[in-house]
Structure formats: C-alpha cells, structure tokens
Structure 1
Amino acid sequence: MCFFDQHRFVCGDWKWGHFRQHCAKEYRIGETCGMKLIMQTVPVGSKCKLCEKIDTKMRRRAAEVDRVNRWQREGSKFRASIDKSMDLIRGLDGEIYELSCERNRRLQGIGTQTGY
C-alpha cells in the first residue's frame, strides 16, 4: 500500500504519477510493496493519449467525408478518388472502433490499470 500521485485527464481517464511514500509493509529501500494507493490527484488540462489519437482520426475521417461529398457534387469524374477515400474512411472507422474499445477496457479495468 505505497502511495503515488494520480494524474486525472479531462476525458476522465487517469494514470499513475510519481511515487510519494512507502507504506509500513515495505521495509526495503527503493522498493514498493506492489499495492498502489493515491496520495493526491493532480488534474491534467488535456486528454489522454488514446483520446488524442481518437480525436486525430475523427478529424481525418471528417476531412475525407467532406472531400468525398465535394467530389460527388462535382459529378462522376472523381470515381477512383472517391473509391480510395471510401476505403480510407472504412479503415479509419475500424481504427477508431479499436481505440474506443481499448479506452473502454482501460476505464473498466480500474484495478489493472498501470498507466501508459
């Protein structure tokens, strides 16, 4: 039951921070007992890395959708470009889904989260 800081992100996710204090169970210098308790919570003014990646992919997807819509309004002369962008959008959808699942697993696995 050694004490650590906890960094809480704007999105609600968190990670372990710096070691702060030994507990009574651990007598070896430089070692921790393995059980982490929160000494203090430090608010972080940004999102976690996973949410940043999701936001980046969402922006990229929105740009591709806008591009496809513009090409479709101009007629059928951009058919190959539209097909390529649609494939890219499907790929981004899959990546966004995987990242969202990873984020949900981290939020549900409170006891197993070790930071990143």
Structure 2
Amino acid sequence: MCFYDQHRFACGDWKWGTFRDHCNREYRRGETCGMKLIYVTIPSGQKCKLCEKIDTKQRRRAAEVERINRWQREGNKFRASIDKSFQIIRALDMETEELSCERARRLQGIGSAH
C-alpha cells in the first residue's frame, strides 16, 4: 500500500503518477509493496489519450461527410470518390465504437491499468 499521485483527466479517466511515500509493509529501501494508494489527486484540464483519439476520428468523419455533401452538390461525376468516402466513414465509425467501448471498460475498472 505505497502512495502515488493520481492524474485525473477532464473526461473522468485517470492514470498513476509519481511515487510519493512508502507504506509500513515494505521495509526494503527503494522497493514498493505493489499495492497502490492515492497520495493526492492532480486534476488535469486535458482529455485522456482515448478521448483524444475519439475526437480525432470524429473530426475526420465530419470532414468526410462535408466532402461527400460537396461532391453530391456538384453532380454525379465524383461517384467513386463518394463511395470511397462512405467506406472511410464506416471504418471510422467502427474504430470510434471500439475506442468508446475501451473507454467505458476503463471507467468501469474492467480494463487494464495505465
């Protein structure tokens, strides 16, 4: 039960920070007992890496939708490009769903630790 900082992101996710203090269960110098307790929580205004990836994919999806809308307004001459963009959107939707599931697992404490 050694003590570590905890970094809490704006999205609610967190990660372990630096080691702060030994507990009374560990007597060897420079060693920790393996159990982690929070010494202090440090709020961060940033989002976690998973949320940043989700945001990036959503921005890319919005750009593809805008391209499709622009091409459709110009007529039927960009049919192959439109089809390719629909494939990209489907792939982005699947990747975003996977990342969202991973984030939900982490917030429930089921996934692996940072």
TM-score (norm 1): 0.94
* Structure 1 position 45, deviation (Å): 1.6
- Identify unmatched segments of 5+ residues in structure 2: none
Structure 2: which amino acid aligns with 1:50? L
In structure 1, distance between residues paired with 2:80 and 2:45: 42
Partner residue in 1 for 2:13: 13
Superposed CA RMSD? 1.2
**Superposed structure 1 runs of 4+ greater than 2 Å apart:** none
Partner residue in 2 for 1:114: 113
Partner residue in 2 for 1:43: 43
What secondary structure does 1:101 align onto?
helix
In structure 1, distance between residues paired with 2:2 and 2:35: 6
Q: How does 1:20-99 map to 2 (within 5 A)?
A: 20-99=20-99
* Structure 1 position 29, deviation (Å): 1.3
Q: Tell me if the contact between 1:15 and 1:113 (Cα under 8 Å) persists in the aligned partners.
A: no
* Structure 1 position 114, deviation (Å): 2.7
Structure 1: which amino acid aligns with 2:95? E
Deviations 1:38-58 (A, max 9, x none): 000001121000000000010
Partner residue in 2 for 1:101: 101
Report sequence identity in percent. 75
What secondary structure does 1:72 align onto?
helix
Q: Which has the higher helix share?
A: 1
* Structure 1 position 106, deviation (Å): 0.6
TM-score (norm 2): 0.95
In structure 2, distance between residues paired with 1:11 and 1:114: 16
Q: Tell me if the contact between 1:2 and 1:23 (Cα under 8 Å) persists in the aligned partners.
A: yes
Deviations 1:19-49 (A, max 9, x none): 0000000111111111111000001121000
- C-alpha spacing 1:80/1:73, structure 2 compared with 1 (3 Å): same
